[in-house]
Structure 1
Amino acid sequence: MFDQEARLERLLARHDDVAMVEPLPGRPALIRRDQILVAERDASAAEDLVRRWHDSRHDEDGVTRLRLRARSKVDVCELSTELAGAGRHRRLSVSPNHLVHGQPMWWSGPADLPRPAGPVPAPRADGPRRDVTVAVLDTGLSPHPWYEDAAWYREQGDEAAEVLDADLDFELDAQAGHGTFVAGVLLRHAPAAVLRARRVIGGDGVGDEAGVVGALTRLAARGGADVVNLSIGCHTFDDRPTPVLARAVAALGRGTVVVACAGNTAGDRPFWPAALKPVIAVGALDALGEDRAWFSNYGWWVDACAPGVDIVSAFARFDGPRPRVRGIDPDRFDGFATWSGTSFAAPAVAGRIAGLAASEGLTTVEAADRILDPADRPTLPDLGVIIRS
């Protein structure tokens, strides 16, 4: 188990605009300081209400970011609650700007670090009956033999490329390669899928809610996707779904299946966006595929589980500075790795849905209903339907 306090200290040192808040004792969350997010339709009303502390307004895709003056020392969690309205029913869609993480990370990420692995044969597509598009909101994609000659990969812009060593320390960043690994898991189950990569977290595994909402909004505006995979997430300050993110997911429409990882905190605290009603939340099974992986979240809100321990998949190419140990180079990756986490259980389910839809000409909603039907598959309490490879 990683030293979570040390990991938090490093994160806060790198991101000086981030603060840890804990309105609910024992249930911390991470937010951007002095920022609140507001749904577009509520932006003007919210701006009027915060005028005394207001510094600037930034209208972005699907969301407005209101910045408050730091010297005002406003508690953005308390302010968001007041702006939303008294009681459990919220009148305005307002939220602090929560940090989101990939799922081998503090409070979320994979349960371990990636380890070099030997090559794996490329998945083979057997004449799909229909095209299926899968959006991957993650760290982006690195070139890989499995897909670098595919038309969909050549169409990816620079904004979708992974950054492997952002701090230029010659070490692979903590979650660099995460998006490529997720894409590999998807393609193993749906080799004919067309992937659309969107970079919403950095190689350190950190992004924010505003970035995810913006990516979802742009995706919806450009025709959406059949399946969306979100191997990212966060806890919120009040353990309720943020209305801004919920609106962005809803805007994708009923024809899009959204799959998200349940998180790696080994608890039942809701993890968002996985715990949203329209989203398929996926926990991780252990190495035997029989019980919950020790790190996996669980609870009433988890819909399915899939293998998440020692998964082998595509990875970035990278050679770090560490010396060989007993003839093995511990930080040289030649395009494949072994990794663990709910991050990699989620694309297994998303890939199964996309693969079935492509091979049998179904809508992805129909495919999801078949794959997640508890009448045809075994279930585990607080982990939902078991989906084995």
Structure 2
Amino acid sequence: MAPQRFREQYDQIQRSMPDVPLAIGPDDAGEFLYEKGVVLARDGEEARLVEDTVRRHFTTFAGLTADHVRRTGPETNRSGITRIQVADPGQGDGSGDLAVAGALRALREPEGRTGRRLVSRNHVVSIAVNACPGDEPVPVEAGAQPNPAVADGAHNPDSAVGVLVIDTGLMNDYRSYPLLAHTQGDAQVEECGDDGILRQYCGHGTFIAGLVAAVAPNTDITVRGTLNDAGAILESEFGEKLFEAVDQGGWPDVISLSAGTSNGRTDGLLGVDAFMRELRQQRTLLVAAAGNNSSATPFWPAAYAGLPGFENAVLSIGALRGDAEFGACFSNHGAWVKAYAPGERLTSALTGFETPVPYVYQHSTYDACRYGFGYACTCRHPRHTGVLSDEGGSGKPDQVMFEGLAQWSGTSFATPVAVGMIAAHMTARAENDPRKALTQLMDGNREVAEVRGANVPALIPATWSPTPVALPSTRT
């Protein structure tokens, strides 16, 4: 883990959600974020059972009274989830929540029921907190080309593969990038602050769409701005938003999702359970980022790829470093990560090409890799000073200008590379079933990389160019 970066992002997301008190879990270990004073349960009988059980045990919870225990969300919604308040969310600081922990303990083995989880924290699902991306974008030299480069082929509306990107919205001038001429979807909310500086994570969805289009030109890409608010959303809302995203245009061939959270469990997220069960009944393939915690802890929804019944419906993607021979320092790993793709210093469209835009770095790089790797990883190179890392300090944050393309790293971006390879395979083989296309692609793939001593499947586009992997230069 990277505790400094985690806490910087905790502060950033808390500012973006001023009305939602957040805590760090589990027990201040710095693994995920969740809503204070609230637990989730399934609608109906199970929600009532949770509420009744918590009431019977409320005297054992610090700061909890009977008046605090009540359902605060709708009892019926598509995701099938009810929020239950179990404490005053204004109590305490962000270092854990004893009342929520107590509620979870009380419901481990509820009367008359075993083998089915009834309660969960309300986690923050994010592209930010040590999740995706792995670093902040870096300007490229004038005249640089996308990497992966644009593959051969043309867009054909009659045969194009439908790709839904669930992320931040599209930058206002995205159509000035030729590869995105056929892309549609939601606009990015508030690209810049009052000072004219590009907001953190703006352009994330545009960058992802550009990668899909480069690897697979014959795609119809739709970008939904589900994660516009600092790249974060509560689990209780995320399931509903996933349903809304597919309802707007129907279930696509492939969903590209570069967000998630760990939760300390191996059985998924309660808030997206209904969506995942519906996904399993569809023909759509979900390709999801494995996350950037450099951890083997399951990261959801990507880790559904390792659960029985989801093998053909979900593909989890980790990131390879610049030479594609080894895993990137930040990439999550483990048996639940089913394939890896290049994810370090990829080049794609960030802002479009009409107006240059300034950006101030939020996080400082490190003298050494946060995760103990020895190559010139994105933890420490290229060097810069960030606002969040230097609050109250004497260093001046670095500012850069973006004018179209940028380099960016993370499993966020390895994911659309894999999406593009699946879509390109569908076009090349005239295959209409994305799940069959995935099976064919994986069966025919001979590329491997080494991650934590294990040989893993590597999905590497023919148009991708490796970047040098060496020790970083000394900062002057």
TMscore range, shorter length? 0.7 to 0.9
Of the structure 1 ranges 253-262 and 68-77, higher mean CA displacement relative to structure 2 is found in 68-77
Choose which of 7, 16, 22 in structure 2 pairs with 1:19.
22
Aligned to 1:64: 81
Matched-pair contact (CA < 8 Å) for 1:298–1:383: no
Choose which of 76, 79, 97 in structure 1 pairs with 2:100.
76
Change (3 A) 1:238 1:60: same
Matched, 1:310 2:345: yes
- Cα RMSD for the two superposed structures: 3.1
Choose which of 398, 405, 409 in structure 2 pairs with 1:340.
409
How many Å apart are 1:135 and its aligned residue? 1.1
Instruction: Summarize the alignment of residues 229-268 of structure 1 with structure 2, pairs less than 5 Å apart.
Output: 229-238=256-265, 240-252=267-279, 253-268=281-296
* TM-score (normalizing by structure 1): 0.84
Aligned to 2:116: 90
Q: Which amino acid aligns with 1:22?
A: G
Choose which of 178, 191, 195 in structure 2 pairs with 1:146.
178
* TM-score (normalizing by structure 2): 0.70
Choose which of 134, 146, 152 in structure 2 pairs with 1:111.
134
How many Å apart are 1:330 and its aligned residue? 4.8
Please state whether the residue corresponding to 1:316 is helix, strand or coil: coil
Matched-pair contact (CA < 8 Å) for 1:198–1:215: no
Matched-pair contact (CA < 8 Å) for 1:308–1:341: yes
Aligned to 1:319: 357
Q: Which amino acid aligns with 2:460?
A: R
Q: Which amino acid aligns with 1:98?
A: H
Matched-pair contact (CA < 8 Å) for 1:131–1:358: yes
Alpha-carbon distance in 2 for matches of 1:368, 1:172: 37
Residues 303-356 of structure 1, C-alpha deviations (whole Å, 9 max, x = no match):
00011111001112551277xx9xxx9532222111011110011111111121
Q: Which amino acid aligns with 1:366?
A: K
Aligned to 1:28: 31
Change (3 A) 1:83 1:125: farther
Report the number of matched residues.
Answer: 373
Instruction: Summarize the alignment of residues 145-164 of structure 1 with structure 2, pairs less than 5 Å apart.
Output: 145-146=177-178, 149-150=181-182, 153=184, 156=185, 160-164=186-190
Choose which of 188, 212, 215 in structure 1 pairs with 2:238.
212
Q: Which amino acid aligns with 1:79?
A: A
Change (3 A) 1:373 1:19: same
Alpha-carbon distance in 2 for matches of 1:239, 1:20: 21
Q: Which amino acid aligns with 1:214?
A: E
Alpha-carbon distance in 2 for matches of 1:254, 1:71: 41
Structure exhibiting the larger radius of gyration computed from Cα positions: 2
Matched-pair contact (CA < 8 Å) for 1:285–1:308: yes
Please state whether the residue corresponding to 1:35 is helix, strand or coil: strand
Please state whether the residue corresponding to 2:404 is helix, strand or coil: strand
Alpha-carbon distance in 2 for matches of 1:43, 1:116: 51
Choose which of 130, 134, 139 in structure 1 pairs with 2:159.
130
Residues 238-269 of structure 1, C-alpha deviations (whole Å, 9 max, x = no match):
45412331331231234111111111111211
Between the two proteins, what is the percent identity of the paired residues? 27
Change (3 A) 1:131 1:38: farther
Residues 111-168 of structure 1, C-alpha deviations (whole Å, 9 max, x = no match):
2210223453794643658331111110121232235542x52xx3xxx211244653
Change (3 A) 1:38 1:186: farther
Q: Which runs of 5+ in 1 are unaligned?
A: none
Q: Which amino acid aligns with 2:139?
A: P
Choose which of 297, 308, 313 in structure 2 pairs with 1:269.
297
